[in-house]
Amino acid sequence: MDTTPRGSSPADADVLDPHLVRRRARLPLLALALGGFSIGTTEFATMGLLPLIAGDLDVSIPSAGHVITAYALGVVVGAPLLIAAAARMDRRRLLLVLMLAFTVGNVLSALAPSAGWLVAARFVAGLPHGAFFGVGAVMGAHVAGPGRRGQAVATMMAGLTIANIVGVPLSTVLGQVFGWRWAFVAVGVLGLLTLAALLRWIPGLPVRDGASVRSEVGALRNGRLWVACAAGSIGFGGMFAVYSYVAPLLTDVTGIAEASVPIVLALFGVGMTAGTLLGGRLADRSVPRTLLLGFASTIVVLVLIAVLGQWLVPGVLAIVGLGVASQVLGLALQAWLMDLSPAAPSLGAALCHSALNAGNAAGAWAGGLVIAAGLGYLAPAWVGAGLTAVGLVIAAVTLGVARSRQRVAGVA
């Protein structure tokens, strides 16, 4: 018996079947997750390799932290510019171009002859980062179907967090055994694998009607979008103030052997993965509540690191907790910025990564300042808690104003 609704084709019935939609979405989401894994590996592996980079290039650890800052600034600059410039490009083709650029940037990082050249190469490698996640978020929501945007974005972002369980620890071990350059070579190989997966599994997705450079840039006139970006960059900077220097914190303060650092990085990745999955589900229920929860829980964990970081078990548990809390916050920020930019969702999602990596740059810089001042490797946690508290205040006020306007509009 034909169960296709009257007036619909069998193809329409397929689209209406949520189980079939989910099956068809698995391979495209896997390709996007592999891209997230590649990007997450290169972004966070640098933190674990920082002492090795500093020693090999004969610079101090705070100076080597400029490598982290350069990558983050590449994300900040590249995300809005590349999304706007490619406003008319098919989303599949754009994903391929971005991953190719990412691969080239990491190969250049492996070949960098000096600290200055490495800073430049990391900037180049960071340029496609935010744009890839921005376009990938829209592609993920497209293939996953209605009502599953948060979980689709979480699936893609899970690749980034799983990188902290597998990719970052393995690249750290690779760097410890063969030299830090080989870690970036490995990321280049991951980039090539991602290109193959995108080419094979990602469907074409034409841009929406009316999309243009002007429409994308026009979305930037939204004042609330910029306030949200400020809240995200300042608030998320708190996490990076600590994590940028997690390797020396563990070895010099907590007392962990260098060979055991990858284990803690893997545990941090487990926390990030749990936070990503939790944040995706919570964001599908309420983005504002999830956002405030993410900010508040990140502050609590940063204070715990500052107080307990010198002891092995509580210090490691607090670092794992930072992975959970920061990813709940990150997922909520991504959904919030997409909601604030309905006419240009790719740009909104990309700006989330610009904001987070502005926080990466600012956090690494602020953490390096207090370390260079001789205050030790626990001091960045107090700085981080302060930064995240500022982000919480900005977000809470912005959400409160929006809620008040909605009430007034409802009464009117």
- The CATH number given to whatever domain includes residue 389 is 1.20.1250.20
Answer whether residue 92 is part of any domain.
Answer: yes
Higher-confidence residue: 116 or 158?
116
Nearest CA to 224 out of 216, 236, 212, 232 is that of 232
4 located within any domain: no
Strand, coil or helix: 343: coil
Residues 178-236 have pLDDT tens digits of 999 999 999 999 999 999 999 999 888 776 655 556 666 666 677 787 888 888 889 88
Q: Which two tokens stand for residue 294?
A: 């993410």
Least confident of 15-29, 43-57, 107-121: 15-29
User: Is residue 254 in a domain?
Assistant: yes
pLDDT in tens, 75-94: 888 888 888 788 778 888 99
Give a yes or no: residue 302 inside a domain.
yes
Tell whether 352 is covered by a domain: yes
Range of the domain at 44: 21-411
How many CB atoms lie under 10 A from the CB of residue 274?
16
CA-nearest of 168, 241, 268 to 388 is 241
CA distance linking residue 258 with residue 251, whole number of Å: 6
Domain count, the chain: 1
- Average pLDDT over the chain reads 83
User: What is the DSSP secondary-structure string of 246-308?
Assistant: HHHIIIIII---GGGHHHHHHHHHHHHHHHHHHHHHHHHH-HHHHHHHHHHHHHHHHHHHHHH
Tokens of 159: 């690749």
The answer to whether position 234 is within a domain reads yes
Q: SS3 of 342, please? A: coil
- CA 80 from chain centre, in angstroms, equals 15
Report the alpha-carbon distance of residue 112 to residue 268 in Å, rounded.
29
The answer to whether residue 117 sits within a structural domain is yes
pLDDT mean over 360-371: 86
Please tell me the predicted confidence (pLDDT) of residue 53. Answer: 92
**Residues making up the chain, counted from first to last:** 412
Tell me whether residue 135 is in a domain.
Answer: yes
The tally of CA atoms less than 13 A away on the side-chain side of residue 49 is: 31
